[in-house]
């Protein structure tokens, strides 16, 4: 079931449907929508108790293999 969901959300059709609403939007309309989404996020975060809020806002550490890939890439770009 999770794999089916992953495939659905990663599909080109899904992505096209998601961006369709923004295709003809002006930059001002896009900025207003982002501001509205941020305000909604702030509202929901303000409803959390302090312990839950801390847990939600704690960044998820990158896996070790991802860190190694990024370090290798960084070193190769520096050369």
pLDDT number for residue 57 = 95
Q: What's the Cα-to-Cα distance from 46 to each of 7, 28, 68, 69, 73, rounded to whole Å? A: 33, 27, 36, 37, 39
78 pLDDT tier (thresholds 50, 70, 90): confident
The predicted model scores a pTM of 0.56
Q: 56: which residues sit within 8 A by CB, 6+ positions away? A: 45, 48
Q: What is the pLDDT of residues 31-74, one digit of tens each?
A: 999 999 999 999 999 999 999 999 999 999 999 999 999 999 99
Question: What residue spans define the domains of the chain?
Answer: 2-78
Residue 59 is encoded by which pair of tokens?
């960044």
Q: What's the Cα-to-Cα distance from 70 to each of 61, 63, 79, rounded to whole Å? A: 14, 11, 14
């Amino acid at each position: 079931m999770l794999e089916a969901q992953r495939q659905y959300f990663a599909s080109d059709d899904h992505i096209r449907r998601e961006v369709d609403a923004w295709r003809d939007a002006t930059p001002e309309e896009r900025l207003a929508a982002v501001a509205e989404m941020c305000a909604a996020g702030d509202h929901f975060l303000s409803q959390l108790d302090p312990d839950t809020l801390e847990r939600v806002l704690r960044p998820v550490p990158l896996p070790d293999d991802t860190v190694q890939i990024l370090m290798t890439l960084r070193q190769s770009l520096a050369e």
